[in-house]
Amino acid sequence: MYPEGIEVRGKSIRITFYFKGKRCRETLTGWDVTPSNIKKAGRLRAVIVSEIACGKFNYLERFPNSKNTLQISVQNPHVDCSLNDFIEHFLLIKSVELTESSIIRTRSGLKTCAKLLGGERLISNITHADIMSMRLKLLNGSNFSPSPIRRTSNGRSVKTVNTYLTICSSLFKYAYRTEAIHTNPFDGVSRLRTVKTPPNPLEHDEFIRLINHPSIREQDVNLWTVAVYTGLRHGELSALAWEDIDLVKRTITVKRTATQQKRFRVPKTESGERTINLLAPAYEALVRQKACTFLYPSIAVEVESRQKRNHIQEQCTWVFRMTSYSAEAKGNISTKVISNMWRKCTKLAGIAYRNPYQTRHTYACWLLNSGANPAFIASQMGHSDMSMVISVYGAWMPSNNESEIAKIERQLNCIAPSAPHQKKTT
């Protein structure tokens, strides 16, 4: 009695197993028909069946000279491709349409997903259940961050999980369209529900406490003043150069932004390239900052264009510079440093911490509450139209509630009695 799936055909041993719904037969070349080889063939078949069940079986490696290998692999070289290898292929294909910073973010997201799915597994063997399990692990599982502090924390935010799902879904959608897989395991996988978080801008008194605190350095005060009174994104603040500023016309021309990878690129959209009219506090902050950094030598930087393989060479004298004596002191202040500065400054000023992006929200909310035209605000912030401004930034700030109530009451008193009319008695 031979082991399951093992046949003796004349002077050869043949192994039979099922792969991708098809029965496969392979003759073990060079194996003499002996009791020990028959047992060995049975063990080999058991290993193959186990690899198929785990999604790690590679037909080409096991049987490189098999006709079945040619039938399975020749038509599409990625059918028996591991997830890690397919990720590299996918990134190479996408590199013609994504920016360098987007490729870096996509690679990072896919590598995280590959750790949870099993990077050595064949992409064709990853199932819907695997994706659902990955979604759960992304939300509640271990963090792979290189930072020791973040690595000890479990789980990720819903927004981060949905970002990973979007990135990974695009990979499997491409695999399905190129017939590397026959079914898309992401079919029926929904994103986690999110609750829209309203803006949490600074109150006027909070901002005054921030810029007047004696322990906060002059450059930091100038930076937060410019951030709040221009609505610049932190990447735009990081890449701001004196060559972009006209203190006579009181304008800033936004034409580049800094990425987290310390590269420079033009804004994502054409509306992002804009001219900002300086409000008085921002103008005065830049005048003060000019005394600190204007006379530093300019440096040549390469700015990535929206068109692939097209870079712009510019001379830049950074407005906000690193102030330490490290090797980075010659460079512009990075977005990471800006975030760290924000955490430190809000703590010193005794202000409730909120995301540093709230400086941009503060600009929009303050201008709206001052009666500024939403279309003008949109143009200053780099939005293509005012719909974003109205939908996101239209919330009333808490400190204005009393004045609004008083205004409403004054109007009502003019048109309505303070007490109901008494009914006439007969």
- DSSP-assigned states of every residue in 400-420: GHHHHHHHHHHHHHHHS-SSP
Rounded Cα gap, residues 66 and 271, in angstroms: 58
> Per-domain residue ranges for the chain?
6-73, 83-177, 204-402
What is the homologous superfamily of the domain 204-402 according to CATH?
Answer: Intergrase catalytic core (1.10.443.10)
pLDDT at residue number 49: 92
Mean pLDDT confidence for 247-251: 96
Domain 83-177 has CATH 1.20.1050: no
pLDDT digits (tens, 9 = 90+) for 365-415: 898 888 888 899 999 999 988 888 888 876 554 455 566 566 666 766 666
Sole residue written with tokens 């401004």? 389
Judged by average pLDDT, the poorest of 212-216, 258-262, 288-292, 410-414 is 410-414
Strand 299-304 vs strand 264-265: parallel, antiparallel, or unpaired? parallel
Q: Is 268 a catalytic residue?
A: yes
Q: Is 393 a catalytic residue?
A: yes
pLDDT at residue number 290: 96
Strand 6-9 vs strand 12-19: parallel, antiparallel, or unpaired? antiparallel
User: Over 50: is that where the pLDDT of 56 sits?
Assistant: yes
Which residue stretches of 317-400 are H helix? 335-349, 358-369, 374-381, 387-393
pLDDT at residue number 398: 45
Full strand arrangement of the beta sheet holding 257-258? 257-258, 264-265, 299-304, 311-316
Selected catalytic residue, list 78, 89, 156, 233: 233
Selected catalytic residue, list 249, 268, 330, 336: 268
pLDDT band at 325 (very low <50, low <70, confident <90, very high): very low
Q: Is 9 a catalytic residue?
A: no
Judged by average pLDDT, the poorest of 223-232, 284-293, 365-374 is 365-374
Tokens encoding 365: 């909310």
Selected catalytic residue, list 156, 256, 321, 383: 383
Selected catalytic residue, list 135, 234, 360, 361: 360
Rounded Cα gap, residues 361 and 199, in angstroms: 6
Terminal CA-CA length for the chain: 115
Supply φ then ψ for residue 189, to 5 degrees.
Answer: -90, 115
Closest CA to 15 of 48, 41, 49: 41
pLDDT band at 198 (very low <50, low <70, confident <90, very high): confident
The pTM (predicted TM-score) of the whole model is: 0.70
83-177 and 204-402 have identical folds: no
Q: Is 233 a catalytic residue?
A: yes
Tokens encoding 50: 């186990």
